[in-house]
Amino acid sequence: VVARLKSSGLFQTKGLIGGKWIDAYDGKTVEVYNPANGEVIASVACMGERETKDAISSAYDAFSHWSKLTAADRSSRLYKWYNLLIEQKEVLGQLITLEQGKPLKEAIGEVVYGASYIEYFAEEAKRVYGDILPSPMPDRRLFVLKQPVGVVGAITPWNFPLAMITRKAGPALACGCTLVIKPSELTPLTALAAAELALQAGIPPGVLNVVMGDAPKIGKALLESPQVRKLTFTGSTAVGKKLMAGAAETVKKVSLELGGNAPCIVFDDADLEVALEGSLATKLRNSGQTCICTNRLLVQEGIYDKFINAYSNAVQSLKVGNGFSEGVDQGPLINEAAVQKVDSLVQDAISQGAKVVVGGKRHNLGLTFYEPTIISDVKNEMLIARREIFGPVTPVIRFKTEEEAIQIANDTDSDQVHLYGKHGLIQITGAKVVVGGKRHSLGLTFYEPTIISDVKNEMLIARQEIFGPVAPVIRFKTEEEAIQIANDTDAGLAAYLFTNNIQRSWRVSEALEYGIVGVNEGLHAYEVAPFGGFKQSGLGREGSKYGLDDFLEIKCICMGNM
Ligand code: ADP
C-alpha cells in the first residue's frame, strides 16, 4: 500500500509555506507510524517557531489578494478542490487507514464526509450577506458588512485526519480568510495530500499553509502573532484551555471543539432495534475515538436486560483487525498510550464494582508476535543459552579459541524445556540487546469491543472521555434521574436518546445541556448541521450556515449627511 501511495503524487512529507513544499529549516524530521503494526510509514518535516512565522507571513500577504477575489471566484476554486478530493477518495482513504487505522470503508466515508464541507462552503461563499438597519436619525443610514477576520490558525487532531481540516478550511476560505494549518503529528500525511489537491484546485500560494512538528512551539508562534486574528482548534479540553488563555494576549477570536462525555439514553418505550442500531453506531464509530461517541450508556430498568443482551450479541460479532482487511468493523486505537488509558479506565471501574459483560482487555490479535532479536555478550551459563528458546531470538556468545568453542558447544545437557510463546528467557544480566528484545508492536494497539455494567456516574470511566471501544452501562429508573445523570458532567457536546414517546423526546431534548442531540438516531454530523458543544466542550459551531460566523467580523457603517 505504501509503495502505491508513494507513486500517487499525493504522498507529501514536507510542510507547505507560501505555495512551496519545504523541509524543516534545521532538517529535522518526525516519524509517522501505522497504528495497526507500529511500522514507520514516513518521516515528515518537524517544524517549529521559525517556519510557523514564515507561514503566517505568507498567509498575511496572501490575504490581501484572496479576500478581494469575488465570492464566485473563491467558490469555483473550492468546488474544484471538492471535486479533486472526491476523485482521489480511494487514495485519501488509504492514507487515512494507513496513518490513523480506521477500516478502509470508514476512511473513504470520512473523505466523502470531509469533502462535503468544501462543497457546502463553496455554495455558502456566495451567501455572506450584510444588512441595512433602520436608522434612529432621519439623515443617517446604517449598514452592516461582514468581512473575513484575516489569517486563521487551525490546529487539528488525529481522529479525522481529513474532515477536521476541511471543516475549518471550507468556511475560512469561503469567507476570504487565509490559513496556517497544523495537523496532528500522528496523521500529517492526509493533511498534506489534501493541501496538494488545494494547490491543484487553484487555491493560490500562501492562502493555505501547512506546518507540523513541535506542537507547543507552533502553537506559541500562532498565539503570539498579532497577524493571526483567529484560532480554530479541535482536540483535548486541556490543550484547548491553554490555547484559549494564550489567545487572550492578542485578543484573537477563538473556536474550540473539545472533549465530550456523551450520554446515550435508552428509555423503556424505545424501539429495541432502533435503539440498538443507533447506540452501536454512536459508540463504535472509529473504534470509539470521536468526541461525539457515546461515553455513557444509560438504560432504563424495564428494557435493561433485553437491551444489554441484544447489545452484547452485536458487540461480540464485531470483527477487529487491520483496517485494510476485508470485513473489519474495528481497527486499532491510535497508539499504545491510548490503549493504556482505555484499559486503566476499565480496570478502575472493575475495581469499584463494575462488571465486564463483554471484552474488558487488550485484544489478543497480535499479542503472540515477538520482535526478531539479537542479544550479544551472552554467557553460556545464562538461562537463554541453557534452554531451548523456540522463538526469533539469537543469543551471541563470543569465543577465542577452537577448544573454547567446542567446549561451549558441548556444554549442554538437554533441550527438554520448551517454553512455547513465553519470553521469560530473555532475563538479561550482562547481555546486551542488539536488535529487538521485546514483544512486537504488531497488533498491540487493538482493544476488545467492551461492555461493562453496574457503572456509577461517579466512576472515572463515566467522568473522563474514554476514546475507545468501551460502553459503560448505567441503569436508571426515571426520566428525571436520566436527565440528572446525563447533565452531571462538565462536557456538553453530543447526547442521544431513544424513545417512541414524542412528548418525552421534546422534553428530554430541551433539558439536555448539549449542543448536538440525536433522537432515535446515532449518527449525527453533517455539513449542513451546526456541530459544537455547551459548557467545557467548546466555543463556536462548525458546519451549517452558522459555521461562517466564526470567520467573519461584523462592521457597522454609518453614513451621515443624507
Ligand atoms: P488529542 O487527544 O486529540 O491528541 P490534543 O489536544 O493533544 O488531543 O491534540 C490536538 C492537536 O493539538 C494536535 O494537533 C496536537 O499536536 C496539538 N497540540 C497539542 N499540544 C499543543 C500545544 N501546547 N500547542 C498547540 N497545539 C498543541
**ipTM, two decimals:** 0.98
242 Cα nearest atom in ligand 1: 23
CB 46 within 8 A of CB 27: no
Residue 180, phi then psi, degrees to nearest 5:
-120, 115
45 vs 369, which has greater pLDDT? 45
Given 257, 371, 448, 527, the catalytic residue: 257
Q: Whose CA is closest to atom 2 on ligand 1?
A: 236
User: What's the CA gap between 421 and 59, in Å, rounded?
Assistant: 56
**Mean pLDDT, residues 427-449:** 74
| pLDDT band at residue 479 under the 50/70/90 scheme | very high
Instruction: For residues 400 and 398, give the distance between their C-alpha atoms in angstroms, rounded to a whole number.
Output: 7
pLDDT given at position 393? 83
Contact present, 100 and 334 (Cβ < 8 Å): yes
For residue 416, pLDDT over 50 is answered with: no
CB 287 within 8 A of CB 359: no
**Chain mean pLDDT for the chain:** 93
Phi and psi torsions of 356, nearest 5° = -80, 125
Give 62-98 pLDDT, tens digit per residue. 999 999 999 999 999 999 999 999 999 999 999 999 9
CA 288 – CA 471 distance, rounded (Å):
9
404 is catalytic: no
Q: For residue 246, is pLDDT > 50?
A: yes
pLDDT at 386 over 60: yes
Can you state the angle between helices 188-200 and 163-175, rounded to 10 degrees?
30
What is the 415 CA–ligand 1 centroid distance (Å)? 52
Pocket test residue of 155, 286, 464 for ligand 1, highest count of atoms within 8 A of CB: 155
The number of residues in the chain equals 562
Distance CA 22, CA 10 (A): 15
For position 442, what pLDDT does the model report?
67
Ligand 1 pocket by Cβ (under 6 Å) = 155-158, 182, 184-185, 215-216, 219, 235-236, 239, 242
The residue with cell 455513557 is 296
Q: 3-class DSSP state for residue 95?
A: helix
Angle between the N-to-C axes of helices 104-124 and 89-100, in degrees from 0 to 180, rounded to the nearest 10: 120
pLDDT surpasses 50 at 27: yes
> 211 CA distance to ligand 1 centroid (A)?
13
Q: Which helix (H) or strand (E) element contains residue 22?
A: strand 20-22
E strand or H helix at 122, and its extent?
Answer: helix 104-124
**How far from the centroid of its chain's Cα atoms is residue 121's Cα?**
22
pLDDT tops 60 at residue 422: no
Q: 432: pLDDT confidence band, cut at 50, 70 and 90?
A: confident
Substitution site in 47, 239, 255, 287 for ligand 1 pocket (most atoms within 8 Å of beta carbon): 239
Question: 229-251 burial, b for 16+ CB within 10 Å, e for fewer?
Answer: bbbbbbbebebbeebbebbeeee
Residue 417 binned pLDDT confidence (cut-offs 50, 70, 90)? very low
| 236 Cα to the center of ligand 1, angstroms | 7
- CA–centroid distance, 368 to ligand 1, in Å, is 33
Q: For position 412, what pLDDT does the model report? A: 83
* Tens digit of each residue's pLDDT (9 = 90 or more) over 516-556: 999 999 987 899 999 999 999 999 999 999 999 999 999 99
Contact predicate 32/40, CB 8 Å: yes
Q: Which of 227, 179, 186, 185 minimizes the C-alpha distance to 81?
A: 179
Number of H helices, E strands in the chain: 17, 23
Arithmetic mean of pLDDT, 406-422: 60
10-31 average pLDDT score: 98
Q: Whose CA is nearest to atom 11 of ligand 1?
A: 157
Ligand 1 centre from 363 Cα, in Å? 27
CB 150 within 8 A of CB 227: yes
Q: Encode burial over 432-452: b for 16+ CB neighbours within 10 A, e otherwise.
A: ebeebbeebbbbbbbbbbbbb
